Amino acid sequence: MTKKRGFNKQVTFLIFFILLFITIRSIHYVYYLNWSGDQGSYAIEALRILKTKSLTLIGPQISANYEGRFIFQGPIIYYFFIFFLLLGKWNPVIASYLFVLFSSLMIIPLYFGVKKLIHEKAAWIMVIVYTLVPYYIDYSRFLWNSTLLFSLIPILLLFMGIFKERKQKGIGLFFLISFWLGILLQFHYQFVLVIAGMFMYYFIFKKIKRSYLIPFFGGIAVGFSPLIIFELRHQLYHIKTILLFIRNWSKVDKPGGITMPHYYISISFMLIVVFLGILVKRIQRVSYGLIIILAFVVGAYSLYIYSPMPEHAFWAPTTPWNYLAEKKIYDIIRSTDLTNDFNVANLAYYDTRSSVIKYFMKRDGYMINYDDYYGNRYLFAISEGNKYLSNPSYEIATFTPHKIIKTWKINSRYDMVLLERTSH
């Protein structure tokens, strides 16, 4: 009976944290939602893959580039977008919220994984961190490659916990851990640091058999296989590009450098697990009352942060800007009589080619030349007042001479104007 009661308590607390996870991320959800340039472009590619039924071996490009050469991430990013967008009927809000629900269920493998790997009290601490720490709240509310990677870390920890519980017996299970590492590496290349840490953990600290080196590297290769196949088919494109980057590192365009906070979501989360593992004997002596106090304090702080209405969406570069502004723009465009021979330029932030609006348009079957900003007769330009007139972006700078057909107010700061070339 004691074991059954203990299990029932675990289930009750897990359900509580799942509901808490969902609740705190639901506060002002659509106003916080990040559905911007990257999400729009990923969704466009996901839509293309599904419509053309043509699989791809590569995913989105990383931000660094040199002379038109890019490094691409794994295609699994697009397939996860397809999964959530299909379930959400291609509605970004529904699809993103379904991702939140999916992430909340990852509390279950997180708890049991860390419990098996370290200790039950460490497992509850990780559940609190995953559920209530603002950094991880911010990056579990929207679809993106880094957020997808973070949401799948608990499965890795579960595999690791089961492997330890079986006293490191089972080469097939170890292959599964390595395979999952290869899958996760497709989402972001910073994860190679975690893979290096895993190698040290198993082969240096745990000193497992050297025969496990084959399933370790073999599993990673299988999980990472789409990009390996791409390399073999394209004359080692990425290897050559990496060497080119190294030789010309000072000239490589590196937007954001290494300071972007999303680079460290999964790495920091794994470091916390490592820290708890090192302090496991002290963690065992921590009372459950202290863990409850920790949950209350962190939860209260997060509620304090997220209760006020946000001025802009998470990661929005300007104020005010959010998904609702994008949706309003698309609804206005759809309400006009224009069905072709036009394009859209969003000068409110970095995505001047307006990937979000174009995702909506491609989803709904608009037949325009999406890449043409030279031959289009009409242009919808989103701008702060008439600042579009001096904007250097080619999408608007080449649209001359023109006249204004109509102006719409998008929010307190931005307008949208419909322009027509006067010599088309």
One domain for residues 7 and 141: yes
> CA-CA distance, 351 to 348, in Å (whole number)?
8
pLDDT of 2 reads 66
Calculate Rg over the CA atoms of the chain.
24
One domain for residues 177 and 257: yes
Q: Is residue 215 in a domain?
A: yes
One domain for residues 242 and 354: no
Whether the CB-CB separation of 363 and 88 falls below 8 Å is answered with no
Q: Please, which pLDDT band fits residue 5 given cuts at 50, 70 and 90?
A: confident
Cis-peptide, bond into residue 401, ω within 30° of zero: yes
One domain for residues 50 and 149: yes
One domain for residues 389 and 248: no
pLDDT of 254 reads 73
One domain for residues 62 and 101: yes
One domain for residues 291 and 330: no
Percentages helix, strand, coil for the chain (3-state, rounded to 5) are: 60, 10, 30
Q: Count Cβ atoms below 10 Å from residue 229 Cβ, excluding itself.
A: 12
Q: Please, which pLDDT band fits residue 9 given cuts at 50, 70 and 90?
A: confident
- Length of the chain (residues): 424
Q: Tokens 């308590």, residue?
A: 9
One domain for residues 285 and 373: no
Position 399 pLDDT exceeds 80: yes
Position 316 pLDDT exceeds 90: no
252 or 48: whose pLDDT is higher?
Answer: 48
Mean pLDDT confidence for 330-357 = 93
pLDDT of 14 reads 97
Rounded percentage of the chain residues whose pLDDT exceeds 70: 98
Position 4 pLDDT exceeds 80: no
Q: Is residue 318 in a domain?
A: no
DSSP-based three-state secondary structure for 6: helix
Q: Please, which pLDDT band fits residue 255 given cuts at 50, 70 and 90?
A: confident
One domain for residues 147 and 261: yes
pLDDT of 252 reads 81
Mean pLDDT confidence for 306-320 = 89
One domain for residues 300 and 331: no
371 or 7: whose pLDDT is higher?
Answer: 371
Mean pLDDT confidence for 258-263 = 82
pLDDT of 118 reads 97
Position 1 pLDDT exceeds 60: no
Helices (H) and strands (E) in the chain, counts: 20, 6
**Structural domain total, the chain:** 2
Domain housing 339: 323-421
Six-digit token string for 258: 């290494």
Please identify, among 306, 341, 361, the residue that sits at the C-terminal boundary of a domain. 306
Whether the CB-CB separation of 402 and 420 falls below 8 Å is answered with yes
Mean pLDDT confidence for 383-393 = 89
Nearest CA to 183 out of 211, 210, 159 is that of 159
Mean pLDDT confidence for 219-230 = 97
Mean pLDDT confidence for 374-392 = 91
> CA-CA distance, 69 to 243, in Å (whole number)?
11
Q: Is residue 314 in a domain?
A: no
Please identify, among 306, 337, 359, the residue that sits at the C-terminal boundary of a domain. 306
Mean pLDDT confidence for 338-358 = 92
Q: Is residue 41 in a domain?
A: yes
Q: Is residue 72 in a domain?
A: yes
Q: Is residue 329 in a domain?
A: yes
Six-digit token string for 47: 């839509």
At residue 382's C-alpha, the angle toward residues 377 and 386, to 5°, is 95
Q: Is residue 58 in a domain?
A: yes
* pLDDT per residue as tens digits for the range 265-301: 999 999 999 999 999 999 999 999 999 999 999 999 9
Q: Hey, which residues does 383 pair with through a beta bridge? A: 415
* pLDDT per residue as tens digits for the range 139-198: 999 999 999 999 999 999 999 999 999 876 789 999 999 999 999 999 999 999 999 999
One domain for residues 52 and 152: yes
CB proximity list for 84: less than 8 A, separation 6 or greater: 95, 96, 98, 99, 102, 143
Q: What letters, b where the CB count within 10 A reaches 16 and e where it falls short, cover 279-292?
A: eeeebeebeeeebe
Q: Count Cβ atoms below 10 Å from residue 1 Cβ, excluding itself.
A: 5
Q: Please, which pLDDT band fits residue 256 given cuts at 50, 70 and 90?
A: low
Please identify, among 306, 341, 363, the residue that sits at the C-terminal boundary of a domain. 306
Q: Please, which pLDDT band fits residue 260 given cuts at 50, 70 and 90?
A: confident
Cis-peptide, bond into residue 92, ω within 30° of zero: no
Rounded percentage of the chain residues whose pLDDT exceeds 90: 82
**Angle (deg, nearest 10), helices 107-117 and 120-132:** 150
One domain for residues 327 and 301: no
Q: Please, which pLDDT band fits residue 424 given cuts at 50, 70 and 90?
A: low
Q: Is residue 35 in a domain?
A: yes
Query: What average pLDDT does the structure give for the chain?
Result: 93
**Angle (deg, nearest 10), helices 213-223 and 171-185:** 40
